[in-house]
A and B are shown apart, each in its own frame.
Chain A
Amino acid sequence: MTEEPRRSPLGEALGAHRRLAETFREEHARVLSVLVTQLRDFELAEDALGDAMAAAAERWPVDGMPREPAGWLLAVARRRAIDRIRRAGTERRRAPLLVVPVAEEPAPGEPAEIPDERLRLLFTACHPALPREAQVAMTLRVVGGLTTGEIARAFLVSEPTMGQRISRAKRKIRDAGIPYAVPEGDELAPRLAAVRAVVYLIFNEGHTASTGARLQRVELQDEAIRLAALLNERLDDDIENAGLLALLLLTAARSPARWRAGRPVPLAEQDRGRWDRDRITRGLALVDDALAGGVAGPYLLQAAIAAEHARATSYDATDWGRIIRWYDLLIGGSGDPVLRLNRAIARMEGGDLRAALADIDALADQLDQFSHFHAARAEVLTRLEHHAPARSALTTAIELTGNAPLRRELARRRAALR
């Protein structure tokens, strides 16, 4: 006997709650960005939006979902903000805000015009007058819509610490008069570079998923991709924005193959069938377009290297010669030791073992304290069949890393050298 599945009242309530939560997640940043630019006060904007969401949680399940949830939230939040200003008795100081006409709740079917102000908010959150950790936290909070608790867990700090960091940043934005604006003219390029650095940092925090709550960190990675896509969409005449987005897509595409049974899988052993083809296709198209569009900067050049890996059908089919040429462009005059190490590894993979060892040894002074340097040195020594020095390099690499899965992997490699 089969029974028609009946929807329980609890099930319906949970379904409605999930739909609400999804809508809030999607609309939060867009509505908040409009409120902040109008009210010029993060705390007031967030409180008012909180009020509006609480009202929505009460009304929507009863009245049904409005056709334009964002418009509804914005209209209610603005009225609540004005109530709060009146209650606090600060109308005089905030009088200019009160003359902005308050939109009535949009009529059913009437599309609400909500401008996308997220880019302004991103530049505000990444303003150089804020400390770097605050830039990261504010970006995730106000542009990504993550809760303080989620951000705290992702960065392995306590919730009160993260809460303080965020509220200090909000106060500084208000009191120091940090503008809600995308800078113009000569100011844009350096500020844009800072914004990209913050997005990249968020991505890396998600990418090195080795400790803590893994899920949260994948979310950070996805959030960074969303932010990079926003930058590239809105400021598309800067090819570095395309480069950053491509780099993140191509790197994230490999994520499903990077871990197996709790241990990191080196690129050479990754199952390429598990790479995310959609992200690779998007990333490759961005790289090709951007490289045709002008002089490449560091993100685009790194994306070009990632693209070579993505194009290769197997590790052995990798075009190491092209990768080395991209590294030459990337290193340029800077001589960054980490980039030079990566170039040496590419030479090793290309089969140029002695040259690679010489390149690596030349970096000893600068990279002696880095586990990755010793691990790379051990690898080239292993391939040259210098087993004893390879073992001792691995021992140093193990001592220098605090990352448990990585330690196990290095120990496994050392044990294989008998």
Chain B
Amino acid sequence: MKYVLLIAEEEGIRNQWSEEEQQADMARWFAYTEDLRSSGALVDGQALHDSTTATTVRVEGGDTLTTDGPFAETKEIINGYYLIDVDDLDAAISWAAKLPTLGAVEVRPVLEFDMPEA
């Protein structure tokens, strides 16, 4: 089954860190990604720019409403994700628990549609 691990962290939580601390943090993420890849579970995964770069698009009554910023004002924002393919929720939870994140991880199963055969 495919799951998305949505990583939600407090914005700018690493801003006060020293260069060495930030590099050590990056190393943890690279190591995690490599573990995921070598287990065969990794489908995709990306870090996102901070929420000041976000644009929220909403279509209401045919009008496209474009606003600056993320769709909800919260302390924690989604700043990255992994798409993984594993056996079941427990496997997804154990990968989520190993993430070197300082925030929370939302684990969501991917809704897979039955596509008509070509």
Contacts from A to B (Cβ < 8 Å): 90, 92-93, 127, 129, 175-179, 181, 183, 187
Known A175-B109, A177-B109: A129·B89 in contact at CB below 8 Å: yes
Residues of chain B contacted by A90 (CB below 8 angstroms): 114
Residues of B within 8 A of A179 (CB): 87-90
Q: Are A92 and B89 in contact (CB under 8 A)?
A: no
> How far, in angstroms, from A176 to B92 measured CA to CA in the complex?
10
Taking CB atoms, residues of chain B closer than 8 Å to A127 are 89
CA distance A183 to B89 in the complex (A): 12
Binding site secondary structure of chain A? loop
Chain B positions within 8 Å of A, measured between CB atoms, are: 1, 3, 87-90, 92-94, 109, 111, 114
Report how far A261 CA is from B88 CA in the complex, Å. Answer: 53
Bound: A187/B94 CA distance, A? 9
| Contact between chains at A177 and B114 (CB < 8 Å) | no
Tell me how far the C-beta of B95 lies from the nearest C-beta in chain A, rounded to whole angstroms: 13
Interface of B: prevailing SS = mixed
Task: Name 29 interchain pairs, CB-CB below 8 A, sorted by A.
Answer: A90-B114, A92-B114, A93-B114, A127-B89, A129-B89, A129-B93, A175-B109, A175-B111, A176-B89, A176-B109, A177-B1, A177-B3, A177-B87, A177-B88, A177-B89, A177-B92, A177-B109, A178-B88, A178-B89, A178-B90, A179-B87, A179-B88, A179-B89, A179-B90, A181-B88, A181-B90, A183-B90, A187-B90, A187-B94
**Across the interface, which residues of A come within 8 angstroms of B92, CB to CB?**
177
Please give, as numbers and ranges, the residues of chain B lying within 8 Å of A178 by CB-CB distance.
Answer: 88-90
- Shortest distance from the beta carbon of B47 to any chain A beta carbon, whole Å: 25
B112 smallest CB distance to A (angstroms): 9
In the complex, chain A residues whose CB is within 8 Å of the CB of B3 = 177
- Least CB distance from A91 to B in Å reads 11
Query: Which has the most chain B C-beta neighbours within 10 Å: A90, A92, A176, A178?
Result: A176
CB distance from A40 to the nearest CB of B (A): 10
State A178–B88 Cα separation when bound (angstroms): 6
Residues on the A chain within 8 Å of B94, using CB: 187
Q: Which chain A positions have C-beta within 8 A of B111?
A: 175
Closest A residue by C-beta to B109: A176
Question: For B89, what are the chain A residues with a Cβ–Cβ distance below 8 Å?
Answer: 127, 129, 176-179
